[in-house]
Structure 1
Amino acid sequence: MIRTHQTTPFPDQKPGTSGLRKKVRVFQQPNYAENFIQSVFDVVGADLVGATLVIGGDGRYLNREVIQKAIRMAAAAKVGRVVVGQGGLLSTPAASNLIRQRGAVGGLILSASHNPGGPDEDFGIKYNIANGGPAPEGVTEAIFARTQVIDRWLASDTPDVDLDQLGEVAVADMAVEIVDPVTDYAALMECLFDFDAIRAAGLTVSFDAMSAITGPYATEILERRLGFAPGTVVNGMPLEDFGGHHPDPNLVHARELYDRMMGDDAPDFGAASDGDGDRNLIIGRGRFVTPSDSLAMLAANAHLAPGYAGGLKGIARSMPTSAAADRVAERLKIPAFETPTGWKFFGNLLDAGMATICGEESAGTGSDHVREKDGLWAVLLWLNILAKTGKSVDQIAREHWATYGRNYYARHDYEGVESERADALMAELRGSLASLPGRQVAGLTVETADDFAYHDPTDGSVSARQGVRVLFQGGSRVVFRLSGTGTSGATLRVYLERYEGPDGDLDRDTGAALADIVAAADEIAGIVRHTGRKQPDVIT
């Protein structure tokens, strides 16, 4: 029996770059999750009837409860089949793969990515379309518009499904299939990478799953299929609150891994992934690799893996990501694309066959195997490169810089800034753009300044106001933008970059190399004046 539940709109259900993210207690309000899910279903409309829908999440607090609601609502929307990861678990890249493999109309991914989990922390819902990637802006705007007028949601009057029992059950007239969340993804990885070479290389590895979703995937692939020693995967059990960890793989929240990799008895290779499995941290023995450099180094060496032996069609990076990958593309004589932040923009390029490898400075890299960034994929490609070359991470990095030069790079995050203060900073900055060229700031000369707008080469769409860029003479750069991935206040992100040619000083301390650019950024944007913050909360 299908029941109609009367409701009224919530004003705050506008999806960000990665879906709708709010505090758990917001999602626990009566009708809140249901309103958003129903709005998704109303926008997708008749395409849902008889179709396959994928549902899963990163296992954070509230994951199971919302999955049960989504299943009942899918049945009311006349979905033909729902495919759910066992225990309600699916990493974001695995969900993307499953959508593509099953020919699904799309999927609901329940996650707040790298944000903390637990009763007082964060939750999120994201809709991915049939290509496996995040819904494009036109779809998310339609979903938001629907949330503002919704007056009812529909659900079948049926009991909960046993999410832990593999197999198939019926909910009303809809089939619900509970699948192992790891199997299909692991098989895809075996097609892309030379597992025999990795096994034979004798490498030692430490992988921190951060008590999040990649634990089961890493345990199956690294320890079982590749034969790394038991205990290679630490914090491998997904927990509703991530064990109190902040599951963001950076040098602040994965400090134990960093310290391990800088020690005298460090393994050859260290890595971590985030809450939903789409981000990565790469550290070799004694050498941290920035996400921007990792993208460039992976692209330069991807031909060593079977899945990329035929070469790359193109490389895409988000605008705030350093230009290191552009130099690889130039040498390979392939296109380089600069897009706004958000994986949805890469999806168009991947679908059009214009790019093979994509990356964001926020620790996300991936390829055309799915339509999401993929943390474990990046780890396995690095392992494939190490195995094939017999070189260390440090050696690969040094040789890369000696060939292409080095983009010294850092991101400064000012978290939880009052929205009014953050908006005022950006408004003042945008108002000053015309006067910046030629200005002397902290010993640097501004060459150009703009508010980045992206013209999508696949569909002609334009995405404006994507971040303020200030370029200095000599190749240095600072970028300012507000992040759309938080749940309270605003996060001001400041991206700092200095290019040093192949014959320059390639092993400076990053902080020292960027000191004048940090000073220039504050003088140009008035960070301290607007925010009251003298230091960023996180430096990556």
Structure 2
Amino acid sequence: MSVTIPTTPFNDQKPGTSGLRKKVPVFTQPHYAENFIQAIFDSIGDFKGKTLVIGGDGRYLNREVIQTTIKMAAANGFGKVMVGQGGILSTPAASNMIRKYQAFGGIILSASHNPGGPNEDFGIKYNTANGGPAPEKITDAIYERTKLIDRYRISEADDVSLDAIGTSKVDDMEVEVFDPVADYAELMEQLFDFDAIRSHIASGFRISFDAMSAVTGPYAKEILENRLGAPEGSVLNFEPLEDFGGHHPDPNLVHAKALYDAVMSDGGPDFGAASDGDGDRNMVVGHGVFITPSDSLAILAANAHLAPAYKGGLAGIARSMPTSQAADRVAEKLGIDCYETPTGWKFFGNLLDASKATLCGEESFGTGSNHVREKDGLWAVLLWLNILAVRGESALEIVRKHWAEYGRNYYSRHDYEGIETEAANGLMDALRGKLETLPGTTFRDLTVAEADDFAYHDPVDGSISRKQGIRILFENGSRVVFRLSGTGTSGATLRVYLEHYEPDPTRHEEETQETLADLIAYAEHVAEIAKRTGRTAPTVIT
């Protein structure tokens, strides 16, 4: 039996690029999660009798909010809910389930790469029928509804058993608890040459995968060890934990340093990889080389034809604006388009649906393809393994040959986390005020060619997204980009992206931060970072 509960709005439920993210104590306020879930249901159209996919990354509060979502889905008229066993479902696996079973949409409970625990982060986002994150017109409608909501509907039924695979009922709605790994693993077998990868591993090729006590553990364990034959112990930290075992589940050189050090050590594994809280990001490391996400996208695009799913070629490549221009050079040689979009995977959805792009990537360790409508960490690792197996070369050899052919884009991101929001906004506003006067100015050996506030004109639906980041382009092809991140839950994160193109192979082994030194100094000079934020150094450098 369902009931209608009176409620009042909260004034802080504006979704970001990946849904609503707040600290757990915010979400545990009475009616807080319920208000947002009801606002989703009130904003997405006629779903009566349709199917909703639900799952999460296993972080603290995951099970409780799944139970709430199931009961609210029943009370609001969904015909069926499909939920991952134990409440577990990686973000790319959720996208696959929505698409494969033609669900109306899905609710994913995650704060992605952010920490988990009783005082850490939680999130709720809605994905549409194409399997991708809701576009801005839907998230805007959800936000408007949160400001007016005065009631929500919920069933008074008992909790569903999430640990037993099978079906049950909540009021008139069917609830199916399914194996969260099986359908995803089947999809990966269709995309990649598992026989070639299996043979490569059997020949002595060693991989180490750090699941960071997050959602990809069960997926990597099943695929890498059980199906591809990697020795037991190849997948580390494979049990999803509510607090990620104290890890910060962000696969980068800071938070996955132990994996990096192991792969770089004498006698270390041939290849290392890590994934994040909800399974959509990846870090890849070859013995002797860290592969930046920007380079990874470019190298995967150049070699994708070696995997069965992409042997017919790529329709196009898409990258987020801050991602390096390495993929542009691959697209040019392949004779295909390379699209530059705002940050946020939802912007790739239209390109993928319209078959304008096949591979997509972001510098924030996210890569994916048209197999789902989310970035996919384990997919990227498997594509790398497919390429390594077919080429029979080390990751370092592949990277060096790629640079020799296309040139090297020296690239780094400097993050200033937890800045006072007012100060961060003031810095960006001041930069915007300088844009018209910057072209033609010089700093050391740099001369500004162009400066703008990036606006994206979607080639599919004609929509325009403005103020997506400030770009300063120099005559030598270098770039500095400034933007504020929308993925944190407290304060603001200023991201500064630095890129220098070097075509000369004799200069491809230089140290990245030294190569970018003039750009780093320019970024401080033009944005007055220390003066405006009080920060004399980045929190994280990747």
1:268 to 263, 267, 270: 270
Contact 1:404/1:502, CA 8 A, preserved across alignment: no
The answer to whether the Cα contact below 8 Å between 1:279 and 1:374 also exists between their aligned partners in 2 is yes
Shift of 1:63: 0.2
Shift of 1:503: 4.2
Query: Matched residues in 1 for 2:20 and 2:410: separation?
Result: 33
Counterpart position of 2:146: 147
Paired residue type of 1:401: W
Aligned twin of 1:43: 43
Q: Does 1:318 align with 2:317?
A: no
For residues 50 and 347 of structure 1, the distance between their equivalents in structure 2, rounded to whole angstroms, comes to 26
* Aligned position for 1:520: 522
Q: Corresponding residue for 2:297?
A: 295
Pairwise CA RMSD: 0.6
| Alignment partners' CA distance in 2, 1:530 and 1:444 | 23
Report if the CA contact (8 A) 1:441-1:524 is conserved. no
1:241 is matched with 243
Cα displacement (A) at 1:519: 0.1
1:442 shift after superposition:
3.6
Match of 2:509 among 507, 510, 533: 507
Aligned with 2:404 (options 392, 402, 405):
402
Tell me the residue number matched to 1:532.
534
Q: What corresponds to 1:104 in structure 2?
A: 103
| Mapped partners of 2:290, 2:2: distance in 1 | 54
CA distance in 1, matches of 2:433, 2:506: 36
1:444 equivalenced with 2:446 (yes/no): yes
Counterpart of 1:180 in structure 2 is: 179
Q: SS at the partner of 1:196?
A: helix
**Corresponding residue number in structure 2 for 1:13:** 13
1:493 aligns with 2:495: yes
CA distance in 2, matches of 1:189, 1:104: 20
Q: 1:364 & 1:503 partners in 2: Cα distance?
A: 27
Mapped partners of 1:16, 1:398: distance in 2: 38
1:502 shift after superposition: 4.3
Among all aligned residue pairs of Structure 1 and Structure 2, give the percentage whose two residues are the same amino acid. 70
Task: Show the counterpart of 1:372.
Answer: 374
Spell out, residue by residue over 1:269-295, the C-alpha distance to the aligned partner (whole angstroms, 9 max, x if none): 100000000000000001000000000
2:157·2:171 contact (CA, 8 Å) conserved in 1? yes
Superposed CA offset, 1:322-347 (max 9, x none): 00000000000001100000000100
**What does 1:453-492 correspond to in 2, within 5 Å?**
453-492=455-494
Contact 2:61/2:122 (8 A) holds in 1: yes
User: In 2, Cα distance between the equivalents of 1:397 and 1:45?
Assistant: 47
Contact 1:442 1:519 in 2 (8 A): no
The CA distance in 2 between the partners of 1:244 and 1:206, in whole Å, is 20
Q: Aligned pair 1:82/2:81, yes or no? A: yes
Mapping of residues 245-394 of structure 1, within 5 Å: 245-394=247-396
1:443 shift after superposition:
3.1
Q: Name stretches of at least 5 consecutive residues in structure 2 with no aligned partner.
A: none
Q: Distance in 2 between matches of 1:45 and 1:87?
A: 29
Q: Which residue of 2 aligns with 1:34?
A: 34
Q: Residue 63 of structure 1 aligns with which residue? A: 62
Could you tell me which runs of 5 or more consecutive residues in structure 1 were left unpaired when the two chains were aligned.
none
Q: Per-residue displacement from partner, 1:346-395 (whole Å, max 9, x unpaired)?
A: 00000000000000000000000000000000000000000000000000
Partner amino acid for 1:8? Answer: T
Please report how far the alpha carbon of residue 242 of structure 1 lies from its aligned counterpart in structure 2 after TM superposition. 0.1
Asked if residue 94 in structure 1 is aligned to residue 93 in structure 2, the reply is: yes
TM-aligned CA deviation for residue 529 of structure 1: 0.7
Q: Is the 8 A contact 2:330 2:406 kept in 1?
A: yes
Task: Supply the AA of the counterpart residue of 2:29.
Answer: Q
Map Cα deviations across residues 400-430 of structure 1 (whole Å, 9 max, x no partner). Answer: 0000000000000000000000000000000
Q: Quick one: distance in 2 between partners of 1:426 and 1:44? A: 34
Count the aligned residue pairs. 539
One-letter amino acid of the counterpart of residue 99, structure 1:
I
Q: Which residue among 421, 443, 450 is the counterpart of 1:419?
A: 421
Counterpart residue type for residue 262 of structure 2: R
SS in 1 for 2:177: strand
Task: State TM-score, norm by structure 1.
Answer: 0.99
Rounded to whole Å, the distance in 2 between the matches of 1:44 and 1:15 is 15
- 1:504 CA drift (Å): 4.9
Separation in 1, partners of 2:4, 2:79: 20
Shift of residue 483, structure 1, vs aligned partner? 0.1
Shift of 1:45: 3.3
Specify the SS of the correspondent of 1:206.
strand
Q: Is the 8 A contact 1:441 1:523 kept in 2?
A: no
Q: Partner of 1:4 in structure 2?
A: 4
Partners in 2 of 1:11 and 1:76 — Cα distance? 25
CA contact (8 A) 1:401 1:502 kept: no
Distance 1:120 1:171 in 2: 31
| Structure 1: distance between partners of 2:506 and 2:336 | 26
Contact 2:472 2:479 in 1 (8 A): yes
Q: CA deviation at 1:44?
A: 1.4
- Where 2:130 maps in the other structure, the secondary structure is coil
Contact 1:451 1:469 in 2 (8 A): yes
Q: Which segment is superposed worse, 437-446 or 211-220? A: 437-446
Equivalent residues of 2:446, 2:476 under 8 A apart: no
- 1:442–1:516 Cα contact (<8 Å) kept: yes
Deviations 1:150-171 (A, max 9, x none): 0000001100000001000000
